[in-house]
Amino acid sequence: MSTPHLRDHAGNSFQHPRCIKVPQYGALELFSYFKEFWPRIDHSSFCTATQDESMETVIAPWKDGVIQFAVDQLEKLQPRDDYCELLELSVVFLGSTPPRGTRFRYPGAIHRARWMGRAIYSIKMSLFRNQYEPLQPGKTVRKSHGLSFSDQIWNHLKEVCLFVTAVYVRYWFQSQSPTAAPRNDLKTANYNPTCRRCA
């Protein structure tokens, strides 16, 4: 069947320079620190994209469609737990509540070859950014291009989360569709994080 090829292609497509500029500092190390910090996080206190003015403007035109898509997918049998987790996190990130309620799983392992794991970590870090010190504005002294290290991380994290919810979720879960997959290919190739009609 076409599934392995399509999903391998999906993973490779996310390295497209017009999709996401991946920071060169240790992303895996940053995820590891967040995993260690997880026991100290208050799961009842999180911030969605609708609570961030810059992201709220971007997601407004397409968030309802993505939420409905994710909810529809959650009603289907998913072969892996992380598939369900990504869908649920996307719904929460966009300001809604998944069918089974809002819940957060302990961060899992990160593999260099699995982009979905990074997507899941990125959304969790965004949701709990107000509790995680490395994402606090101006917390770090080191600067580049006028931005503190924490501000750089947060800016990259926003780009990743917007890309995941605007493009990646549909792309991944529709990769077997002969009609939807080509359309999603085009959206991925032309993705612009400030595009108001990207989803």
pLDDT bracket for residue 189 (50, 70, 90): low
Higher pLDDT, 15 or 131: 131
Is 59's pLDDT higher than 60? yes
Identify whether the C-beta of residue 44 lies closer than 8 Å to the C-beta of residue 180.
Answer: no
Copy the structure tokens of residue 182.
């080509």
Q: Are 182 and 174 in contact (CB under 8 A)?
A: no
Going from N- to C-terminal start, the domains of the chain cover 3-20+27-188
d(CA 51, CA 123): 14
For residues 177 and 39, what is the distance between their CA atoms, to the nearest angstrom? 40
Answer yes or no: is pLDDT of 75 > 50: yes
Do residues 49 and 40 lie in contact, with contact meaning Cβ atoms separated by under 8 Å?
Answer: no
- Tell me the average pLDDT across 169-195: 69
Per-residue pLDDT tens over the stretch 155-177 = 889 999 999 999 899 888 987 77
In angstroms, rounded to a whole number, what is the distance separating the alpha carbons of residues 38 and 136? 16
Q: How confident is the model over 84-116, as pLDDT tens digits? A: 999 999 999 999 999 999 999 999 887 665 788
105: left (phi over 0), alpha (psi -120 to 50) or beta: beta
